[in-house]
Structure 1
Amino acid sequence: MEKPDIPRLQLESFAHFNYKVPLLQVQHYPVNAAYFTIENRDNYPVIDYISPNRRQFYKIFHMTSGTGVLTIGLHQYEMGPGEIAFLHPDEIMSWQTTSQETGGHFCLIHPAYFGHDAAHVAQLFRQYPYFQPSQAVVQLTPEQSTTVNGYFEQMLKEERGPNDDKKQAILLHLQMLLLEAKRAGKQLAQVQVTEQFGHIYGFLSLLESAFQVKTPDDTIKIKTAAEFAGQLNVHPNYLNALVKNHTGKTLREHILDRLLYEAKSLLVQTDWDINTISYGLGFSGHAAFTSFFSKKAQVTPTAFRKNVAAPAHL
């Protein structure tokens, strides 16, 4: 029997949400992404997107111009010039640009980048207070912002350069960047997100948690849209309309896209045979998996594995 407290909101009620529609393109990092990436916003313009957890990357970005709305978990920040954000791999985050252009830098750091020779830096990242959603954005003074921008420029120069010891230099600049932000210590005010946005985050979080294929013996059970809605205590039609309205895709499309992403990740990041991957992802066998993959990716799993380079290790 249907629960009496299940909301049955009309689509018109979504118009009161704080975002333009559709807004959030769900964006996963490439399955063969480098362990360290740094970019200047002049060459890599920001887009409106939402990034699920299990991104496997710390992200730090600093704004020198422009404005935007950053949402991390259930915390929302209105960011502008001279502010720096710290994003933990386990948190769902989204970004909406609210100006014509945004300037600055961002870097992505995979925990494996630190390696055994920089375990102390990995520990620093794990303990750094601003990788918490409620403290994730720091307001810098103009002088501090200039200093931080200089650290990003130096890291970008090193990463693009030929020096054999560039990783050591990058890690030193990263540590100085963290220290400068910690000295600033002025956290930007944040607000709680709306209940509707919380449902979107809740769905993506549950979807990510369903994909935990870490060993050849793991097998996932793909949940239906109704099962995800039940876990969030909302009606499937309501959740589907909400997610479709703000991401442009239905619950089923998100589920299939996430299944494809996991398949690509396993093909690139493991040496498991196709049968092992097929069963791990809940398919009845090699043929069923190949049919699904070929239809979605326009290439067979075997050909995809051969064509995509292994992850880059800097």
Structure 2
Amino acid sequence: MQNSTIPRMPLETFATDNYQQPLLNVEHYPVDSQYFVIQNRDTYPIKDYISPHRRKFYKIFHMTRGTGVLTIGLHRYEMGRNEIAFLHPDEIMSWQTTSAETGGHFCLIHPNYFGLEADHVLQLFRQFPNFETDKAVIQLTDEQSATINGYFETMHREDRGNSDDKKQAILLQLQMLLLESRRAGKNLMRTKASEGYSYIYRFLSLLESSFQIQERDSYVKLKTAAEFADQLHVHPNYLNSLVRNQTGKTLREHIQDRLIHEAKSLLVQTDWGINEISDGLGFSGQAAFTSLFKKKALVSPSEFRRNAAVSTHI
């Protein structure tokens, strides 16, 4: 393997220049998430994290107070009050808070939420230009921000209500939110993500691209930590140190965690046998799969599937 010719930023400099907090947790959305989620930051505080793509959710969040650094793909935004961000499901993103408190709302919308009766709204989302990484954050005036905050508050109230037509009310508010944001039209200036962050981004992107299991005869072609480093043209020790310094986990731990997340998804969302899932994920046998799953999830694959089925029907 050839050494990279790209200059390398010391880990201490990377951490100091880019993030005040030492760690960003890599988080995947729960395998059994609802198709629509909305939260108020007053009761659901924001936390620092990195989210790989394949989230399957559009995400919109609006800030009414506080500051933070949002990175979408390799575009870095320093966000503050009266700004709104649009995140496409296919993009890796991270957030790091830089103020004592933050305020506002966020919502997650799965494409399946719209259904056939609201396919026109889904098309609005697919065509909305601010879901592109270089246009993802919009600056709002005080008046525009107050209007958009009202849309979020209405969706929050409707989501927790019992009205038969609450979905229609939420869809109307989403359309108005997109319209008001488009009218504002002032994109927040972005900068390029640091070299150190770009390695983390590229590693997570390569890791995610390994998981394309959609049929019973699909197989994960997972690389080792050394193979990922080779593909990124860096020394494995350097990549491992960089990732561990920023996320608190080694390359090997990230690979194992991603395997278990995929296993959980398959256990919940398919009727495949444990042996089929084990084979699809590239394990040498069901015993090896069960051993790692129990170590990470604290229950066996069969127990996890039974528990998920019970909670779904409560």
Range of TM-score over shorter length:
over 0.9
1:48 Cα deviation (Å)? 0.6
1:46 aligns with 2:46: yes
Distance 1:72 1:272 in 2: 34
Aligned to 1:277: 277
Distance 1:136 1:214 in 2: 30
Residues 93 and 15 of structure 1, relative CA distance in 2, 3 Å threshold: closer
Structure 1 stretches lacking a partner, 5+ long: none
Describe the superposition over 1:186-244 as per-residue Cα deviations: whole angstroms up to 9, x where unpaired: 00111001111100100000010011111111001221011111111111111111101
Percent identity (aligned): 69
Residues 70 and 96 in structure 1, CA contact (< 8 A), matched pair in contact too? yes
Report matched runs for 1:185-200 at 5 Å. Answer: 185-200=185-200
Matched length: 312
Residues 112 and 291 of structure 1, relative CA distance in 2, 3 Å threshold: same
Distance 1:119 1:125 in 2: 10
Aligned to 1:224: 224
Distance 1:226 1:247 in 2: 18
Describe the superposition over 1:124-143 as per-residue Cα deviations: whole angstroms up to 9, x where unpaired: 11100000000000011111
Distance 1:277 1:187 in 2: 44
Distance 2:6 2:236 in 1: 10
Report matched runs for 1:1-314 at 5 Å. Answer: 2-3=2-3, 5=5, 11-15=11-15, 17-20=17-20, 22-309=22-309
Residues 280 and 141 of structure 1, relative CA distance in 2, 3 Å threshold: same
SS where residue 23 of structure 2 aligns? coil
Residues 2 and 233 in structure 2, CA contact (< 8 A), matched pair in contact too? no
1:309 Cα deviation (Å)? 4.6
SS where residue 221 of structure 2 aligns? coil
1:5 Cα deviation (Å)? 3.2
1:3 Cα deviation (Å)? 3.7
Letter in 1 for 2:198: G
Residues 59 and 86 in structure 1, CA contact (< 8 A), matched pair in contact too? yes
1:85 Cα deviation (Å)? 0.2
Residues 32 and 310 in structure 1, CA contact (< 8 A), matched pair in contact too? no
Q: Relative to structure 2, which stretch is displaced further, 285-294 or 186-195?
A: 285-294
* Runs of 4+ off more than 3 Å: 1-17, 309-312
SS where residue 186 of structure 2 aligns? coil
Bigger RCO of structures 1 and 2 (CA < 8 A, at least 6 apart): 1
Letter in 1 for 2:209: S
Letter in 2 for 1:148: I
Residues 139 and 310 of structure 1, relative CA distance in 2, 3 Å threshold: farther
SS where residue 189 of structure 1 aligns? coil
Letter in 1 for 2:251: L
CA RMSD of aligned residues (A): 1.7
Structure 2 stretches lacking a partner, 5+ long: none
Distance 1:135 1:301 in 2: 42
Letter in 2 for 1:192: K
SS where residue 159 of structure 2 aligns? helix
1:13 Cα deviation (Å)? 4.8
Distance 1:69 1:304 in 2: 36
Q: Normalising to structure 2: TM-score of the pair? A: 0.95
SS where residue 216 of structure 2 aligns? coil
1:256 Cα deviation (Å)? 0.5
